[in-house]
Amino acid sequence: MNLFAFDKSVAAAAIAATGTVIGALIQLRGAWRKELSERARSVPVTKKSRRGPVVALGLLLSAAAVGGFALSQYLVGQSMRDSLALRGELETQVAQISATAVRLERATLSDQDSMGRAAANRRGAEGVAVTAMIGPCHGRVGPTPDPPPDCAEQDALRVTLCASVPVRAVVAAMDLYARPEASPPAIESPVAPGQDVGRARFADKPFERPDSEQTKLACAVFASWNGAQAYAARLVVKYSIAPIENEVSNAPLILTSGVRQ
């Protein structure tokens, strides 16, 4: 507690009270000496002489009251200052705790995001596969000949193969496979985009399209104008996850021949 940290009004009241007390004490001392002197000379005490000590006592009591009031105001002010200082300290500690909680929450979310991204990257490295069957395509003729003729390429049957990947996925490769339906899957071979595999092929360019807030679709179109046999087409999409939210690569998709699945 700082004893000299008085408010201006309190300091003025304290100074006035101190002066009054000093004056009253001087007046009491003078009155007391005068009374002793008069008693020594056997002079009768008058009402006027008796009034002096009474006035001095009254002034002393008034000064004491003023001093007490000044002291109480000082104590109240000091208590308020202590309360404000304590409140400021508590607010600072609460702000520090809040900042620490925010940092911990961000660290936790970052760890969760890192683990989720690592798991998604593992899935993306393995690839998401989609398979579709497309039947023989018969040309438009009058009476159906035996065997049915092939379609023209502009009338080919088409199927769109789409793999669902996370919206933050950056597609690294799309492996394409096509085989006649009668062939066993064990002899499935990778094909290049645009490569003719017996009057059937994948389109030259893949594309992406939105699916939901969490996923998007990576697609490739397979077309067949073969009138003799059906085809099994397969798409395998490999990807990685962008490290920053909403960071989606605008790089073109890379079509590769892939390896046997």
pLDDT level of residue 237 (50, 70, 90 thresholds) = very high
**What average pLDDT does range 56-77 have in this prediction?**
70
Confidence at residue 248, expressed as pLDDT on a 0 to 100 scale: 41
Closest CA to 207 of 255, 241, 259: 255
Confidence at residue 251, expressed as pLDDT on a 0 to 100 scale: 45
Q: How far apart are CA 99 and CA 103, in angstroms?
A: 6
**pTM surpassing 0.85?**
no
Q: Over 80: is that where the pLDDT of 241 sits? A: yes
What's the start-to-end Cα distance of the chain, in Å?
A: 82
Q: How far apart are CA 77 and CA 10, in angstroms?
A: 10
Confidence at residue 112, expressed as pLDDT on a 0 to 100 scale: 65
Task: Check: CB of residue 217 under 8 Å from CB of residue 208.
Answer: yes
Q: Which residue has the higher pLDDT, 98 or 64?
A: 98
Q: How far apart are CA 54 and CA 104, in angstroms?
A: 74
Report CA-CA distances (Å) from 130 to 181, 182, 192, 230: 16, 19, 17, 17
Within 13 Å, how many C-alpha atoms sit on residue 59's CB side? 18
Q: Over 90: is that where the pLDDT of 130 sits? A: yes
pLDDT level of residue 247 (50, 70, 90 thresholds) = very low
Confidence at residue 11, expressed as pLDDT on a 0 to 100 scale: 66
Q: Over 70: is that where the pLDDT of 74 sits? A: yes
Confidence at residue 164, expressed as pLDDT on a 0 to 100 scale: 92
**What average pLDDT does range 40-45 have in this prediction?**
60
Least confident of 75-79, 98-102, 110-114: 110-114
On average, the pLDDT of the chain sits at 76
Q: Over 60: is that where the pLDDT of 1 sits? A: no
Q: How far apart are CA 191 and CA 179, in angstroms?
A: 10
**What average pLDDT does range 49-77 have in this prediction?**
67
pLDDT level of residue 163 (50, 70, 90 thresholds) = very high
